[in-house]
Structure formats: C-alpha cells, structure tokens
Amino acid sequence: MIVASIIKKTIKNKQYYYYVESARVNGKPKYVNQVYLGSAEAVLRKVATLKPSEALYSEIESFADVCLLYDLAERLSVIETLNECFPKRNQGVSVGVYALIAAINRAVAPMAKVNIEIWYGKTVLRSLMPVPKGGLACQRFWDNMGLISEGQIDTFEEVFLEEILRRYPIRASRLIYDATNFCNCSINRGKSNSTQSNLVNL
C-alpha cells in the first residue's frame, strides 16, 4: 500500500517541501516517489494561482419545497387514496401520481400543464416519482383527469379529510377554503378575478 504525504526538508538552513509516496519494500518503509514542491512561499504562490477545474456536468434540482410536500403526501398516503378513489386500468402512470405532481406544481410553481414536464425534469420528483419520458405530456394529463367524475372527487374529499382529522388535532369548524383567486378554465365569456379577462372563476 502506498501512502502519500508532504514532508519538509532543511537544506543550508532553508526549508523546502516535497510530495512523497511511501511504501514497504522488503518489510521496511521507503520513499518510492518524490516530487519537489519548493519553499513555503513558492507553494503558496502556486496554490494562489490555481483555478479549480470546471465540472464535467452539473444537475440543479428544485429540492426543499418539493420534498416537503412529497413527504407530507407520503405520510398521508395521498397517492394510494387517490388511486382507490380514482381507479383505472393498471396501465401507465396512475391517476394518483398525475394528481399529486399537478398539486405539488400548483403549490410551488404554478404553470400551464404543457410546461409541467419541463418543470418536473428540474426537480427531485423525477427521482422520487419516476415517470417515463413523455408521460407528463399535456394530453396525458387531460386524458387521466378526464377519467375522474364529480362523485369520485366528493368521495376523495371525504376520505382524505377524515384521514387528516384522524392524524392531526384540527377543529373542522375552524377550516376555511378560499377559492376567490383560483382561475383555471379558459372560457371566452364572462370576466374573472385575474388579469386575464377571458377566464371564469371555478
């Protein structure tokens, strides 16, 4: 086994530094490689002029806010509950996964469904909730959301609220839902509360 270190040598009352590699030869430690580094001042000058090498590649992902919501959804079994209330054939991404990804997106970076696949690719969700390439295309979202009926939504709301109240000491009488600023559907009539005059509040 080779051990690397930096040693100091004193030559004519001056100190110099060397990079050395040591190994056992015939049972005794011996320098097997030695590189002269220079005086302390010379070493400092070399270090000061060094520039860190550029990374071959890097990945920047949205992490904290997305992980917080995902962890909360995991603890509340949101995907499992959604899939029980919104069943479909065992084919492709489940309705529960689509709905949770859309909900997390709405909470941290609301955008049109056509852009969610790009957003998803820049978050840690792609590791936590892997979806095949193209699986989050806008049409896939609408196809799956179209499978959900109003009755199923009512069932999910009841089941999910019961689970929340079971886990957390919340007084239901103090819960308020405010939807006055939720503008989601493009309908070419009426006037919404947003800056887009062609939207109607839902």
Q: Which residues pair with 19 in a beta bridge?
A: 6, 35
Q: How far is 77 from 88, CA to CA, in rounded Å? A: 18
Q: pTM of the full predicted structure?
A: 0.59
Cβ atoms of residues 98 and 141 within 8 Å: yes
Alpha-carbon gap, residue 68 to 183, rounded angstroms: 25
Which segments in the chain show pLDDT lower than 50?
185-193, 198-202
User: In terms of C-beta distances under 8 Å and separation of at least 24 residues, what long-range contacts does 104-111 make, across chains too?
Assistant: 104/66, 104/69, 104/70, 104/73, 107/65, 107/69, 108/62, 108/65, 108/66, 108/69, 109/62
**Alpha-carbon distance 113 to 139, whole Å?**
9
Query: In the prediction, which pLDDT does 186 show?
Result: 44
- Domains in the chain: boundaries: 3-46, 67-170, 175-202
pLDDT at 49: 83
Number of H helices, E strands in the chain: 8, 5
Q: If you search the block for the tokens 């509040």, which residue do you land on?
A: 201
pLDDT of residue 200: 42
Q: Give residue-wise pLDDT tens across range 6-56.
A: 999 998 888 999 999 988 888 788 888 999 999 999 888 888 887 767 766
